[in-house]
Chains A and B, each alone.
Chain A
Amino acid sequence: MSEILLELKGITKTFPGVKALDKVHFQLRRGEIHAIMGENGAGKSTFIKVITGVHMPDEGEIILNGKKVVFRSPLAAQREGIAAIYQNVTSYPDLSVTENIFIGHEKVERGIIQWKKMHKAAEELLRPLNVDFQPAALMGTLSVAQQQIVEIAKALSMNAQIIIMDEPTAALTNSESEELYRITERLRDEGKSIIIISHRLEDMYCLASRVTVFRDANYIGTYQVSEITPPELIKAMVGREINDLFPKPKAKIGNEVFRVESLGRTGYFKDISLSIKQREIVGLTGLVGSGRTEVVQTIFGVEPYDTGTVYLDGKAVEIHSPQDAMKLGIGLLTEDRQNQGLILDWGIGRNVTLPALAKYARGKITKDPIENMAAKALCEQMGVKAQSVFDKASSLSGGNQQKVVVAKALTSELKLLIMDEPTKGVDVGAKAAIYEVISDLIMKGMSILIISSEMPEILGMCDRIYVMHDGRLMGELDREEATQERILELAMLKKTALAVEG
């Protein structure tokens, strides 16, 4: 099974002002899972778009099944059996699963769509994928994991031989990821070839047999996964060694800063009590949908709470809006930085100063030079890669955008900073920088609450970990006693056990 199915040789692609790919090579064998890794901006996405016919390469050739091919359009690549499943699922939420699978190649006889045949075919495609939804269900009612499975079914419906998955696990929980692993391996065993792009080393180690690394538009190398250690791989991707990915500071933990008691919001979560001390990093984890995000949004005043009390420095406080929370010194970095954290059209300077305009104004009148200097200082302190404070936020990579969002939070005097999935979709280099920032903030006397699905992050950074399941707090683990297994055990407690309890 070492026959080469797809080969790309010396691919170069230039966009105005940027060389996105520079003489890149790639080989895919039949029945292989091959990972492509690299930092944001390394050229992975452009490379995928070359394979799928979205971009035509300036130089180099594509050899499929021993024949030289030129894909002039995505459709041409599709016809040759190449299908891509993108990071942000591009589906039609108001159409049914069947319609989504067969969109563009509906089963038509004499100009009439054959619904029965399509439903039946969809069912046949979905059955081996072990799904728990009907082909008639609306796409919008499915979870992200389920939608991805539909995308896979769509790829199979087009007889795809090569399936490309772009960050497939980015929005999935651990158990969902494992389900996806199983499906992916099954596809491989059926003889499909799979290219997987991911920031998560676990994905690569679990699935791939070989890995190709890109850096700064260049081909770095192709390695056997079994023969490369994580530090070696990171070095290949980043170009330098990262000795300690989790620089957990040895800070002197102080008195309790923040506490909530039996916080509840009907339909979302119940009876949440947690506390955070000064200079402490506390983790809040659990499966996606366990209510983690809802809890912190309530603490930040975005959503109301029905029961419970919030204490800051031992005093009961009322938080009814983000303004209230910010006045008290509580900051929130939302999970969705593109839609909730940044104004993408604005320069990074204006983004940074937005939450604290009054601080840089004289009376009610804004002063641009003062704002710009303050934004410059904060962005430099965060190590944002940008030319000027007028660079649009949309022009930055995910990691740099996250740094801008942190800079934004730092405009206020914070006691507690809540970070919802701070490193989601961020590459290794930027991750290390964000952890470094967290350590700096702790040393300055701040407290931090991290919500994360990434186990290594939670285990590596947190002093204490709270685990949620189904809107309830299932337990609290110290740094010493916390292991991946114990966390998962608490996060996945069976619903039956809960029913007995309450």
Chain B
Amino acid sequence: MTAHPDRSILAARNKSLKSVFMRWEFLLLGLFLAINIMNAVISPYYLNAGNLFTAINSFLVKGFIAMPMAYLLVLGDIDLSVGSTVALSATLLGVSYNAGVPMGLAILIALLCGTMCGLLNGLILTRFTELAPMIVTLGTMTLYRGISEMILGSQSTGSFHNVSWFYQIYYARLGPVPYLFFFFCLLALAFGFVLHKTIFGRQLFAIGSNRLTAKYSGVPVQRHRLICYTLMGLVCGMSGVFYSSWMGTVRFDIATGYELEAISVAVLGGISTSGGKGTFPGAIISIFIIGLLGYGLGLINVNSQTILMIIGLILIAVVMAPNLKTRRKPGIKTS
């Protein structure tokens, strides 16, 4: 083979301390700490483990959705139907239970419903690859919500808390820590590991970076997309179960806006909506940043609309920050 002894290519990267501190996750971690300190200062009740985990548990119900959403965004895809899928899954759980189906089976029905919703999104988008995910899932968003409303009308269905073990899914704790929190951490570790340390994860990044190149490199593009949409549906089903266990009753209009919150935290976490970029830990930290910020502001009686405004502003500011940094670069000229 041709020898080029004069040309040596480095295979190792020299990691500077600066590059570690300049990482996006590090910035988010700082923001996370700042919000905790602020909350602790403004409210003496904040640093009470019991209260804190009550708050955390309530935003974890939707926090789960951010994990597969991160996968979809990395792929360059998006799913707007997640809130509706949560509602439809919870609706079917409620209707089945009240029709006399055992609770265990009702949970399975809810999970299956979520999976089917995700699978349908995935099948449409992988069979008709020219369709835009945003439009298709906007369609299924109203479709799934419509089915829920058709089933329930303006009624609520519930009294799930009669089944005590179902009540425990959300409320059971080990000391001050809810089991749901442990489950969330486990799942986050698994999702993060798969995204960053496995062949599957690398291929997701490849698809999001350049779908054609991925295809020509033998990456099963459409199969991976289908898997991610289906996974998204399954997690929505799970979220629906947790919601039911939390509230004890279900209406058709629950979980509205979950899609936007899931997308927001993923974007805040540094995952680009145009695909191929971002890290999972950033998204997880962001779930807590937004959740705890809302909780802290609630403690000092800031009303919920104002909280949403503040979160919106923070999102814009944080997303703009790296752009401002790169924007200045072309100005530096050596002429």
Q: B335 to chain A: which residues have CB within 8 Å?
A: 14, 56, 58
Chain B CB within 8 A of A390 CB: yes
| Stretch of A100-108, A179-187, A368-376, A469-477 lying at the B interface | A368-376
| With A16-B332, A322-B216, A437-B2 as contacts: A380 and B206 at CB distance below 8 Å | no
- Asked if residues B9 and A380 are in contact (CB atoms below 8 Å), the reply is yes
Question: What total of A-B pairs shows CB separation below 8 Å?
Answer: 114
Q: A375 to chain B: which residues have CB within 8 Å?
A: 11
- Asked if residues A387 and B9 are in contact (CB atoms below 8 Å), the reply is yes
- Asked if residues A387 and B216 are in contact (CB atoms below 8 Å), the reply is no
With the chains together, A444 CA to B198 CA distance in Å? 32
- Asked if residues A365 and B220 are in contact (CB atoms below 8 Å), the reply is no
| Stretch of A88-96, A121-129, A228-236, A334-342 lying at the B interface | A334-342
Chain A CB within 8 A of B126 CB: no
Q: A349 to chain B: which residues have CB within 8 Å?
A: 11
Q: B214 to chain A: which residues have CB within 8 Å?
A: 343, 354
Chain B CB within 8 A of A361 CB: yes
Chain B CB within 8 A of A364 CB: yes
With the chains together, A331 CA to B11 CA distance in Å? 25
Interface residues of A in 405-456 (CB under 8 A from B): 408, 436-437, 440, 444
Per-position 1/0 for A288-324, Cβ under 8 A of B: 0000000000001010000000000000000001110
With the chains together, A373 CA to B202 CA distance in Å? 18
With the chains together, A387 CA to B13 CA distance in Å? 11
Chain A CB within 8 A of B219 CB: yes
With the chains together, A437 CA to B3 CA distance in Å? 11
- Asked if residues B12 and A372 are in contact (CB atoms below 8 Å), the reply is yes
Interface size class of A (residues with CB under 8 A): 35 or more
CB closest residue in chain B, given A412: B218
Q: B200 to chain A: which residues have CB within 8 Å?
A: 364
Chain A CB within 8 A of B127 CB: no
- Asked if residues B334 and A389 are in contact (CB atoms below 8 Å), the reply is no
Q: B212 to chain A: which residues have CB within 8 Å?
A: 339-340
- Asked if residues B217 and A355 are in contact (CB atoms below 8 Å), the reply is yes
- Asked if residues A322 and B4 are in contact (CB atoms below 8 Å), the reply is no
- Asked if residues A344 and B4 are in contact (CB atoms below 8 Å), the reply is no
CB closest residue in chain A, given B209: A343
CB closest residue in chain A, given B206: A354
Q: A334 to chain B: which residues have CB within 8 Å?
A: 216
With the chains together, A158 CA to B113 CA distance in Å? 64
- Asked if residues B199 and A357 are in contact (CB atoms below 8 Å), the reply is yes
Say how far A297's CB is from chain B's closest CB, in angstroms: 9
Chain B CB within 8 A of A241 CB: no
With the chains together, A350 CA to B206 CA distance in Å? 9
Chain A CB within 8 A of B325 CB: no
Chain A CB within 8 A of B320 CB: no
Chain A CB within 8 A of B210 CB: yes
Chain A CB within 8 A of B18 CB: no
Interface residues of B in 246-283 (CB under 8 A from A): 276-277
- Asked if residues A389 and B10 are in contact (CB atoms below 8 Å), the reply is yes
Say how far A437's CB is from chain B's closest CB, in angstroms: 7
A379's partner among B9, B13, B216, B276 (CB-CB below 8 A) is B9
Chain A CB within 8 A of B156 CB: no
Chain B CB within 8 A of A388 CB: yes
Chain B CB within 8 A of A143 CB: no
| With A15-B334, A16-B334 as contacts: A385 and B7 at CB distance below 8 Å | yes
Interface residues of B in 111-136 (CB under 8 A from A): none
Q: B11 to chain A: which residues have CB within 8 Å?
A: 349, 369, 372-373, 375-376, 388-389
Chain B CB within 8 A of A386 CB: yes
- Asked if residues A342 and B333 are in contact (CB atoms below 8 Å), the reply is no
Chain B CB within 8 A of A366 CB: yes
Chain B CB within 8 A of A326 CB: yes
- Asked if residues B199 and A387 are in contact (CB atoms below 8 Å), the reply is no
Looking at B4, B8, B217, which has the most chain A CB atoms within 10 Å of its CB?
A: B217
Q: B197 to chain A: which residues have CB within 8 Å?
A: 365-366
With the chains together, A379 CA to B198 CA distance in Å? 23
With the chains together, A440 CA to B2 CA distance in Å? 7
Chain A CB within 8 A of B230 CB: no
A343's partner among B10, B206, B220, B333 (CB-CB below 8 A) is B206
Interface residues of B in 312-335 (CB under 8 A from A): 332-335
Chain A CB within 8 A of B148 CB: no
CB closest residue in chain B, given A336: B212
Q: A366 to chain B: which residues have CB within 8 Å?
A: 197-199, 201-202
- Asked if residues A380 and B13 are in contact (CB atoms below 8 Å), the reply is no
With the chains together, A241 CA to B212 CA distance in Å? 38
Chain B CB within 8 A of A383 CB: yes
B199's partner among A364, A380, A384, A390 (CB-CB below 8 A) is A364
Q: B2 to chain A: which residues have CB within 8 Å?
A: 381, 383, 436-437, 440
With the chains together, A270 CA to B198 CA distance in Å? 42
Chain A CB within 8 A of B142 CB: no
Per-position 1/0 for B181-217, Cβ under 8 A of A: 0000000000000000111111100100110111111
| With A58-B335, A343-B206, A383-B2 as contacts: A355 and B218 at CB distance below 8 Å | yes
| With A302-B215, A341-B216 as contacts: A361 and B199 at CB distance below 8 Å | yes
CB closest residue in chain B, given A348: B9
With the chains together, A366 CA to B200 CA distance in Å? 9
Chain B CB within 8 A of A346 CB: yes
Per-position 1/0 for A264-296, Cβ under 8 A of B: 000000000000000000000000000000000
A383's partner among B4, B198, B210 (CB-CB below 8 A) is B4
Chain B CB within 8 A of A345 CB: yes
Interface residues of B in 221-250 (CB under 8 A from A): none
| With A322-B218, A372-B11 as contacts: A340 and B213 at CB distance below 8 Å | yes
Q: B206 to chain A: which residues have CB within 8 Å?
A: 343, 354
Chain A CB within 8 A of B17 CB: no
Chain A CB within 8 A of B1 CB: yes
Per-position 1/0 for B6-48, Cβ under 8 A of A: 0111111100000000000000000000000000000000000
27 A-B pairs in the complex with CB atoms less than 8 angstroms apart: A14-B335, A16-B333, A321-B218, A322-B217, A323-B218, A325-B218, A340-B216, A341-B213, A341-B216, A345-B210, A350-B202, A354-B202, A354-B213, A372-B12, A376-B10, A379-B9, A380-B7, A380-B8, A381-B2, A384-B7, A386-B9, A387-B10, A388-B11, A389-B9, A389-B10, A408-B217, A440-B2
7 closest Cβ pairs, A-B complex: A388-B10, A376-B11, A372-B11, A355-B217, A383-B4, A357-B199, A343-B209
